[in-house]
Structure 1
Amino acid sequence: MPVHNADIAAIFEQIAELLEIQGANPFRVRAYHNAARTVSEFGREFTALIAAGQDVPHLPGIGKDLSGKIHEIATTGRCALLDRLRGELPPALTELLVIPGLGPKRVRTLHEALGVDTVAQLRAAAEAGHIRRVPGFGAKTEQRILDHLRSRPGPETRMLLPVAAQYAEALADWLRGAPQVQQLEIAGSYRRRRETVGDIDILVASDAPAPVMQRFTGYDEVRQILGQGSTRASVVLASSLQVDLRVVEPAAFGAALHYFTGSRAHNIAIRKRAQARGLKINEYGVFRGKARVAGETEESVFAAVDLPWIAPELREDRGEIAWAARAPLPRLIERADLKGDLHCHSRASDGNATLEELAAAARAAGLTYLAITEHSQRLTVAHGLDTARLLQQCEAIDALNARLDGIVLLKGIEVDILEDGQLDLSDEVLGQLDIVIGAVHSHFDLSPARQLKRLMRAMDHPHLHVLAHPGCRELGKRPPIELDWLRLVRHARRRGCFLELNAQPKRLDLTDVHARMAREEGVLVAISSDAHTVDDFNNLDYGIGQARRGWLEAADVLNTRPLDTLREVLRRG
């Protein structure tokens, strides 16, 4: 059974977490976290390379030992080190890691202080008031843990969009190999570019469904067949991802694609609009009585109810239908609209590439400028830069720009926003940079009022241009901070500050809702890769998807502007 890059990355993440629970050397832990990120973002499948007789390519941060483990996992699906670490710790201990606010260090602390090894033991300790007495926790943390345990619906089954893509696209390519497949689309929340995917819907147009169904259920990654009929089937892959296949006749493909793309709320609104016109819409077409009057294409479905085609990312019943009925919809931003990237990290902090390597990769990605924004000194875990190191890097950037062709590096910093809203570096050094982005990396649990005051004070700083990943969330690990978003966005407008849409798939922060809020309030958004490796510029595609869900046009995005215009906008801001 093929092993995907996402599987290898997941094993490396598990190793890092178990090592951290054991109290292993932080540099070793970090090496596995970095390796997981590098592997997950590598553009080719390691299993395919190895099957073709090629060696594991040299990648930043991947030495001989990690390269050997990639080969081991890709060829066997297992890792001896992970098996050993699992045997050394209570089996249920890792289940605690999915609880918000409990990273490996805190799990180890609870294990050592209270003997907590399971979710049931954690809940019992919280209900008895024991957790608040453990140093580093307190009553608020205990209550948050208890609230989560009481409200959680069950195991988390959603995948990050790029992880789901590895499994979904491979299966779709396999199905396209059947000569009976005339058209194929991956529909559902995947097509709408949701941040996470619960399952995958694949739609096929074919006049001969039986061979397509056979090929689908015979796919070598299918672990379980949940159901199978003549034109539909549902399976669970080895990755635990559920995939549903529907085969329709070509004349109904557009109607079925609209139906299975969703969202449910959007579809209901479209059906009501059809009913008002004496029509019926379902996955088989648009009907007037028994006569099918449209359905071969999505455009024909929308036209039947007097609407233009609506992009999948907008189909959430958030006003897109009423807007499309009265005026042209926004021309949503596309990847080609981006001229530059305003957030990335080199080896000087916690990245895995040199300045020159990042410049070459950004240029290859079609960008004309790239801001180098290392972490600042307070973030010691990421080797943050103090004033002396930052000024040295500025000199290195100037020297490199003198010989670069086709791209310009901007001198910047991702300066830490402290608890009181102060910035982590002096005005003197910040004033020498082309761009300053500010970010919160601690004290996520402040009250909404204090958190808002903190961010507003940071934005009031005369040298701050962009507020980075404003919600501070990590999907599946850390919820967003709580604050009054409308007041934050309006303060950004008054101050002339910009908001980042961080395209790292684990963040995608701004949310689509807050990106649209920024658009409506006239605040420009910077779509940034937050690149730590040369492959991370691919993240921009996910940022574009999120921006489209937020109704953003090219004019709403800061880094669609040419460099000269960008410099002027930053200066005015």
Structure 2
Amino acid sequence: MGTKWKDNIDVADMLERVADLLEEQDSMPFRVNAYRKAATSIATWPTAVAEVLASEGEAGLRKLPGVGRSIAAAVAEFVRTGQLGMLDRLESEATPERLLASVPGIGPELARRIHEELGVQTLEELEQAAHDGRLEKVEGFGPRRGQQVRELLETRLGQSRRRAARLHATPARGAQPELGLLLQVDEEYRRRSAEGALRTIAPRRFNPSGEAWLPVLRRKVEGWNIRALFSNTALAHQQGTTKDWVVLYFDKDEEEGQCTVVTAHGGPLDGKRVVRGREVECLAFYGVESEEAEVPQPGA
């Protein structure tokens, strides 16, 4: 059977989409994490997975880090046909009206009006509409109900973020990338983003227009797979730091984690890029006197 010759980024994006939908449906965290790890592995693999499949079959795909039997089968189906039945099923189950109606206080009729009048399709878009006042203009909503929806979504989406944070919990110090390596990737990401040299994606949260504005950088350095994106949290938008706070996801062998790099304000690290949680190391890295540094606190 021939292939559609999808490149590795196409395949990684497909796996990330599956992970997103599984997470929305409160699937087991280990299953969501498996798809995300496979996506990172494939995106940074030096050989096209289509070539691996053509020469070695699914057994060859299973040799890739983080790619087990079921994910190898999904990748093979996607490469050969350009589609994935599992993804189609997950997307059909996640119709906008059904998803919106899952929020307490929003029934099927109100969900239909929100979708049709505001074009809202995801919980992230609903959260944006609740924050910018558009939701309150829909018949059946007012300031009080809008506030209730904001609080409910903060709890629900916050739980998803906390699950993700646990999956990427920072490992022991010895299992993290070197500080200089993280700052190097941070510098490259911000520089290439400013140059418009990176592929961009359309984040689901705080992006009502669906614009593909968020640059993504994937690197494999010193054995670490690193993925860099600007922070897209509510706090980052409120403080105007979506082009300053950079979230780095990393994994190597069985270790994985994440960190946020920000610009320090005040103190000995003023104006310098700092990895949150590793300020003491940053003081030594930059060779400055040790005293408490004032660093912005990115949201979860």
TM class by shorter chain equals: 0.3 to 0.5
Larger radius of gyration: 1
TM-score w.r.t. the length of structure 2 is 0.45
TM-score w.r.t. the length of structure 1 is 0.26
Structure with the bigger RCO (C-alpha within 8 Å, sep 6+) is 2
